[in-house]
Structure 1
Amino acid sequence: MELRHLRYFVAVATERHFTRAAARLGIGQPPLSMQIRQLERELGVRLFRRLSRGVELTEAGQLLLERAESIMAQVEQAKTDVLRLARGESGRLRLGFAGATYFQPRVPALIQSYREQHPDVQLLPEQSNTPALIEGLHANTIDLAFIRPPIEADDALVVETLVEEDMLVVLPHRHPLAVKAEAISLEALAGETFILFPREIGHGLYDAVVGACHRAGFSPKLGLAAPQISSIIPMVEAGFGVSVVPRSVNRINGPEVTYLPIVGDMPRAPIALAYRRDDRSAAVQHFVTLARLGMREISR
């Protein structure tokens, strides 16, 4: 039994007439009659009783009609689902977020815009660090990742910078510099203990901060390492030291910390979108296109 047999059968069963069914299907009446006879022979039952002005279903034919209509509906739904997936209108996207990139307002704004345009695409977020997300892209466990560049040259990936934000000094609220200053130079922190995260989980930001300190004339004294950027803030609150963080991290409104702009040479904190160069997923391409559109609007 083939799908065309079911389609022909349903047409005759609903029209109750071979000639009208043939016209509906766009074929001749004799070939249609032959296809129905083949179906009846295959099943070993009569599906229609021939009347003077058409046909009526037998009991077996009525049962087959119920099953056939269900099957045809499932086939049509399958075709629709496949086409929607191919067009990027459904499916899923696995999104990775590194180094508190989700605090940068343009990142959630991009995701919200994508969700509004593609509501049936499921977004699966994963928080990690840049090296782990790069591995996930290579292993096909992540589709797109918001990372902290730079990364090593990688021909398999495309890395497009979305935004570069400045950085802020974060101090305990009662720190003398926090009490008397509205902005601060890095030179003023030469004697402080710095809380950073391990270089291996984000060497871009780590090197930017340490490099800026070197240009300011000192090597930062490193204290406890924070497991991730967002955990730096409670460690500063607890008095373990000071730090330099991307501006968007100030959305963590710790009551016992103060954020100060940096005067003079300032490290920068870029965020980039990374994805596989050979990824032909329509959902991925739609996301990238929307991200590029956002970058063009920002640059105007």
Structure 2
Amino acid sequence: MELRHLRHFVVVAEEGHITRAAERLGMQQPPLSQRIKAIESELGVQLFRRKARGVELTEAGRVFLNRARATLAQHDGAIEATRSAARGEQGRLRVGVMPTALFHPFVPFAIRAFRTAFPMVSLTLDECLSKEALERLRNDQMDVAFMRAPLTEPQSLIVNPLLVEPMVVALPSDHALARRGRGGTLSLKDLAGETFIVYARQLGPAFYEATMAACLKAGFSPRLGQEAPRITSALSLVAVGLGISLVPACMQRMTMDGIAYQRLKGASQPKAVLSLASRRGEPSPVVRNFVSLVRQAARNLHTDPGKSSTIRRSG
């Protein structure tokens, strides 16, 4: 018995009339009558009682109708689920996020937009530094990662630059430069005599390298103080007066007692890059949909910041 035979039976049961069922199915009445008889013969039971003006289900026919409908629904559901998965509407997505990335409003906005557009995708977030993220991407333990570095693209990965933001200086709130620069800006040369707190130098060296390059461009080699494993740890060290630190401007959203943020001016002002990394030749439509949506959001942000709230589902 084939699925199409079950569909024939269901239509006859719904119409209660062989001729009307045949018209609905787009076939002749005699072949449909023969098909119903063949089903009854295969099952060894009577499914319909013949009446002068049609047919009606027997008790066995009503049971068979319920099971036939369930079988057809399961079959149709399996087909739709498969097609949905092929469109990237179902599946899973593992997203890596650098510790500073979530402080930029673009990242949570893009993730929320994807979840709205693809609610059937199971999405998980994993905070990690750049070297950890690259390793997990290569080992298929992560699908995409918001990176905080202008990476040279490894052969196995694609790195999409999304946006660039300035870096600012985090100072102890009672620091003389914090008071002097209040309401204005500082130059990097103003920081030449300060102790710099660096963070994630080994596992996420982007900000350390940006700090060193900017200071050298400004004409001095920075004096390095205690190294912190994460940017939040670095800010804690700044708050207790152990030094200053250069951080992405979005970190100003993180208020902490004892810290003042000041903007920097001049040609040597360091920048913080936000990128999205994914595997080259990625076969997953879920991942491709995410990358496409995030890139579209970044383009909207560059052309008109107001448009970032109107991300549409790709495809």
Q: Scaled by the length of structure 2, what TM-score is found?
A: 0.85
Partner of 1:34: 34
Partner of 1:271: 274
Tell me which moved more, 278-287 or 234-243: 278-287
Q: How does 1:1-300 map to 2 (within 5 A)?
A: 1-182=1-182, 183-264=185-266, 265-300=268-303
Deviation at 1:243, TM superposition (A): 0.6
Deviation at 1:289, TM superposition (A): 2.9
In the aligned structure 1, how far is the partner of 2:50 from the partner of 2:138? 64
In the aligned structure 2, how far is the partner of 1:179 from the partner of 1:4? 81
In the aligned structure 1, how far is the partner of 2:30 from the partner of 2:157? 59
Q: Deviations over 1:159-215 (max 9, x none)?
A: 111111110110111122222224323333333332212322222222111122223
Tell me which moved more, 204-213 or 44-53: 44-53
Structure 1: unaligned runs, 5 residues or longer: none
Letter in 1 for 2:166: D
Structure 2: unaligned runs, 5 residues or longer: 304-315
Deviation at 1:46, TM superposition (A): 2.3
In the aligned structure 1, how far is the partner of 2:85 from the partner of 2:240? 49
Letter in 2 for 1:112: R
Deviation at 1:23, TM superposition (A): 1.9
Deviation at 1:248, TM superposition (A): 0.5
Identity %: 45
In the aligned structure 2, how far is the partner of 1:206 from the partner of 1:42? 77
In the aligned structure 1, how far is the partner of 2:87 from the partner of 2:18? 38
Letter in 1 for 2:256: G
In the aligned structure 1, how far is the partner of 2:281 from the partner of 2:154? 13
In the aligned structure 1, how far is the partner of 2:257 from the partner of 2:129? 27
Q: Scaled by the length of structure 1, what TM-score is found?
A: 0.89
In the aligned structure 2, how far is the partner of 1:42 from the partner of 1:160? 61
Tell me which moved more, 166-175 or 216-225: 216-225
Aligned residues: 300
Deviation at 1:272, TM superposition (A): 0.5
Deviation at 1:152, TM superposition (A): 4.3
In the aligned structure 2, how far is the partner of 1:275 from the partner of 1:15? 54
In the aligned structure 1, how far is the partner of 2:80 from the partner of 2:153? 40
Letter in 1 for 2:208: Y
The answer on whether the counterparts of 1:233 and 1:252 sit within 8 Å (CA) in structure 2 is no
Q: Deviations over 1:217-273 (max 9, x none)?
A: 333333332222233222211233211101101110112101111232111110001
In the aligned structure 1, how far is the partner of 2:82 from the partner of 2:226? 52
Deviation at 1:133, TM superposition (A): 1.7
Deviation at 1:24, TM superposition (A): 1.6
Letter in 2 for 1:259: Y
Q: Secondary structure at the match of 1:55?
A: strand
Q: Deviations over 1:78-126 (max 9, x none)?
A: 3333333333344443222114111112222323333443344443222
In the aligned structure 2, how far is the partner of 1:27 from the partner of 1:277? 51
- RMSD in angstroms over aligned alpha carbons? 2.3
In the aligned structure 2, how far is the partner of 1:68 from the partner of 1:117? 34
